[in-house]
Structure 1
């Protein structure tokens, strides 16, 4: 089983720890694959606020086979079911204990690798766009870090929800082209070479966008205020550039445009809240088969190469999920 010491990727190691046992409402799942997420890097370094119920082992999304069920499981699962799902932690392991209301049955059209890369990113994007951003047909949306796994999901969700325009930012021409040509974004802007806020205001005739989904934090705070439309919602999911705002930030847009700026974290939510999002994800499953939604897996590693997998994520060159397989 994979666990960690706080520090760089080389601090990760495989260790033998007790096999989890199913508590009430939980299933023990034999893990076939698990997905990597940016939060894993922060947790590894000791900077992520881990929920008290989470084990020390990393990982929140996985696919696998139910080995046994605890008392009180009411979600229709049985031993031997092929599933994928979300957990508070512990997915970097051969076995995981997971609440059955956070599991979904794996359809035959999804591989173990594909299924392991769905839960965290698609649920996070759904939460940001629909529950917090209050998406409605005709609204416009900006997804920062457009080639990140959450934004890859989010751009597709925005299109399916009837967005009138979808914008994205990214740091290379390859990623910009990917956002537009592969995902369906209306336009994408290079944050390294362009003033993305001015560009978006120009193409929207000064109106801006209704919903902004941000992961960058401090460095984008002013730009987000500038580019948000009247009555716009700015949803912040991370602060990769830091949390301390630079001097001179003008917050006048909050009142002038009647903006709402809201932060959120999925992992800190209770099972009932997460379960509602899981139920929403279940309504998408057929869309992964009919071509409405596409899954993008950048690279697959055997879990024994978890150090290399983390280093690959840190290099920030991927356009999709990084997955590890077990067995």
Structure 2
């Protein structure tokens, strides 16, 4: 099969199309002919050596998110058959014609979705649900501030918050404000020209928001704390602005009853990941069909052979929603 190979860590140019062996199917695996794969920030970290080793836990091939057709399965697989259309999160190996996936990490593709849009769902919507609904316990009538709202997880979080009945504040680049509002944000904030903490204070008359979902990290931390209401929850999902150190007055945590929660899917145990998929599937999977359905947001598609260009697109931060690799035969040349 064809797959993307990384001979050395580095810039996008290290991504090369090469031959690779078909993955071995274990008892709980599905073997999937991949038609589309999502590109994620974790892939950039993998490519540049941020995880310190060439394989991502389960495969020497890069990539965490697939959509395709089941062509084989292990003896312990339940509820899936050959020919089923599936999407899901893999422990590596997505940038390839064939990939294996633990059946408990797979979900059926809603009937109205093609493979490209299906590949835009698993990683970002599961992460958004886990952070905002499960950990932060967002409910109807609450308010939430979502940073990086035009990105993959951010755009998913905006939709889930809107569907839940929350008041949604969202930060993004000024050129993307209208798009973020279309996804469900009540107030879109240009992070380059506006102080989001001041906007939150003004809009909420000093109360603050119940939940903050942040992907940026240290540069936003103090203002995130200031933007929380009494009993508010900050969920740290990423550190795009750099890790570094943060400081906080413990009195604010104590007397305002604040909670600071961190979450990263890739460091969860396999049973925890199974539970994350199960929770998302139970709450939202059927909401991708019919009127008023959730919308997998696709920014652009690239053939697998142009994986380097897909990474450059993500590094530019110009995308709104997901960047998808496609694996049609004509793309594998």
Whether the TM-score (by the shorter chain) exceeds 0.5 is: yes
- 1:97 and 1:62 map into 2 onto residues whose CA distance is 10
- Residues 46, 56 of structure 2: 8 Å contact kept: no
Tell me the SS of whatever aligns to 2:212: strand
Q: Could you tell me which residue of structure 1 aligns to residue 297 of structure 2?
A: 296
CA 251–221 in structure 1, closer or farther in 2 if over 3 Å, else same = farther
- 2:311 and 2:16 map into 1 onto residues whose CA distance is 12
Q: Could you tell me which residue of structure 2 aligns to residue 167 of structure 1?
A: 169
Residue 271 of structure 1: CA displacement?
2.6
Residue 108 of structure 1: CA displacement?
2.5
- 1:3 and 1:200 map into 2 onto residues whose CA distance is 45
Residue 208 of structure 1: CA displacement?
0.5
Residue 279 of structure 1: CA displacement?
2.2
Structure 1 residues 208-217 or 283-292, which shifts more? 283-292
Q: Could you tell me which residue of structure 2 aligns to residue 257 of structure 1?
A: 256
- 2:250 and 2:202 map into 1 onto residues whose CA distance is 21
CA 171–292 in structure 1, closer or farther in 2 if over 3 Å, else same = same
Residue 214 of structure 1: CA displacement?
0.3
Tell me the SS of whatever aligns to 1:15: strand
- 1:18 and 1:240 map into 2 onto residues whose CA distance is 34
- 1:311 and 1:140 map into 2 onto residues whose CA distance is 34
| 1:137 paired residue among 135, 140, 146 | 140
Q: Could you tell me which residue of structure 2 aligns to residue 212 of structure 1?
A: 212
| 1:124 paired residue among 124, 127, 131 | 127
Tell me the SS of whatever aligns to 2:19: coil
- 1:245 and 1:67 map into 2 onto residues whose CA distance is 47
Q: How does 1:196-235 map to 2 (within 5 A)?
A: 196-235=196-235
Across the aligned residues of Structure 1 and Structure 2, the Cα RMSD in angstroms comes to 1.7
| 1:81 paired residue among 71, 77, 84 | 84
Is residue 2:316 matched to residue 1:312? no
Q: How does 1:64-103 map to 2 (within 5 A)?
A: 64-74=68-78, 76-103=79-106
Residue 8 of structure 1: CA displacement?
0.7
- 2:293 and 2:17 map into 1 onto residues whose CA distance is 38
- 1:19 and 1:198 map into 2 onto residues whose CA distance is 54
Residue 53 of structure 1: CA displacement?
3.0
Structure 2 runs not aligned, ≥5 long: 329-333
Residue 127 of structure 1: CA displacement?
0.3
TM superposition score normalised by structure 2: 0.92
Residue 28 of structure 1: CA displacement?
0.9
Q: How does 1:41-80 map to 2 (within 5 A)?
A: 41-48=44-51, 53-74=57-78, 76-80=79-83
Structure 1 runs not aligned, ≥5 long: none
Structure 1 residues 266-275 or 141-150, which shifts more? 266-275
- Residues 225, 251 of structure 1: 8 Å contact kept: no
Residue 241 of structure 1: CA displacement?
1.2
- Residues 152, 320 of structure 1: 8 Å contact kept: yes
Is residue 2:5 matched to residue 1:3? yes
Q: Could you tell me which residue of structure 2 aligns to residue 189 of structure 1?
A: 189
Tell me the SS of whatever aligns to 1:202: helix
Tell me the SS of whatever aligns to 1:197: helix
TM superposition score normalised by structure 1: 0.94
Residue 251 of structure 1: CA displacement?
5.0
